[in-house]
């Protein structure tokens, strides 16, 4: 082999090495800020605490979040079965606002919510799959009413983000990945009734709603944020008992 051919081969090898390094480096730059959201074409049943339905042997691929794909992505997220967290719910109007601190304990299908109302009273809600109870701190009297799959979220005064899965795609006006607090989230904006607009930020780490907003007529009327650390599982000190001492659930 003459020197000219050896030079050509050496140059070709060098170019291939440079291209491979650039491709690898460029890929890492492109994906560094994108949460690990994957969809599977396998047949996993999605069982397990906080599972995503992805099984060994499934094939996965990165998905861009758009109004057309966001429902498929949200469907892969699942809330943990047992946790404690704190959130803040703000109600806003033209002349003022109120910010309510809310504590949430969740375990085994039971949710205990403690929140301070604008009157200063502290309300407790204890919600199961079919029954819900509420009372005010300092009293042993409680009230009972029927519960459904959205009652626990209503007690926390947060929207049930899974309703996004039921929407017509045309009502989803924006979608993407966003950092909310310290949580990487899937972001969804929905056109509501009339001039209402709703926004959801759902954690890609734990499937919980991290933030939500509602606008009416271009004015913000509601905002929820939950940026504090989530404790999983629910701490052993949690109580799922009525104020008269009846225990409805134990950890």
Query: Is 58 in the same domain as 90?
Result: no
Owning domain of residue 105: 73-225
Q: Which tens digits make up the pLDDT trace of 89-125? A: 999 998 999 999 999 999 999 999 999 999 999 999 9
Query: Is 22 in the same domain as 119?
Result: no
**Mean pLDDT rounded to a whole number for the chain:** 83
Cβ–Cβ < 8 Å for 60, 48: no
Let me know if residue 236 belongs to a domain. Answer: no
Query: Is 25 in the same domain as 91?
Result: no
Query: Is 52 in the same domain as 171?
Result: no
Domain end among 64, 82, 98: 64
Query: Is 209 in the same domain as 147?
Result: yes
Query: Is 133 in the same domain as 191?
Result: yes
Query: Is 169 in the same domain as 197?
Result: yes
Q: Which tens digits make up the pLDDT trace of 196-249? A: 999 999 999 999 999 999 999 999 999 999 999 999 999 999 999 999 999 999
- What is the average per-residue pLDDT within 58-81? 84
Query: Is 31 in the same domain as 78?
Result: no
Phi, psi (rounded to 5 degrees) for 213: -140, 155
Taking alpha carbons only, the member of 242, 18, 216 closest to residue 141 is: 242
pLDDT for the residue 200: 97
Percent above pLDDT 70 for the chain: 75
Split into its structural domains, the chain has a count of 2
Let me know if residue 248 belongs to a domain. Answer: no
Q: What angle do CA 57, 60, 63 make, to 5 degrees?
A: 165
Residue of higher predicted confidence among 2 and 88: 88
CATH code of residue 128: 2.50.20.10
Please state the pTM of the whole predicted model: 0.76
């Amino acid at each position: 082999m003459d020197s000219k051919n050896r030079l050509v081969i050496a140059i070709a090898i060098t170019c291939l090495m440079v291209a491979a390094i650039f491709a690898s480096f460029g890929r890492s730059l492109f994906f560094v800020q994108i949460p690990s959201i994957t969809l599977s074409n396998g047949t996993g049943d999605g069982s397990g605490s906080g599972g995503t339905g992805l099984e060994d042997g499934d094939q996965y691929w990165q998905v861009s979040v758009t109004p057309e794909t966001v429902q498929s992505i949200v469907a892969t997220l699942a809330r943990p079965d047992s946790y404690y967290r704190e959130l803040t719910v703000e109600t806003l109007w033209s002349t003022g606002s109120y910010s309510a601190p809310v504590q949430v304990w969740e375990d085994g299908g039971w949710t205990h919510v403690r929140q301070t109302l604008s009157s200063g009273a502290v309300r407790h809600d204890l919600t199961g799959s079919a029954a819900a109870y509420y009372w005010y701190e300092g009293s042993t009297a409680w009230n009972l009413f029927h519960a459904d799959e959205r009652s626990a979220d209503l007690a926390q005064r947060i929207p049930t983000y899974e309703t996004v899965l039921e929407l017509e795609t045309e009502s989803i006006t924006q979608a993407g990945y966003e950092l909310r607090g310290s949580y990487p989230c899937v972001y969804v904006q929905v056109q509501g009734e009339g001039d209402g607009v709703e926004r959801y930020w759902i954690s890609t780490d734990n499937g919980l709603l991290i933030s939500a907003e509602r606008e009416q007529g271009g004015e913000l009327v509601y905002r929820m944020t939950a940026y504090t650390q989530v404790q999983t599982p629910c701490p052993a000190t949690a109580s799922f008992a009525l104020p008269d001492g009846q225990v409805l659930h134990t950890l």
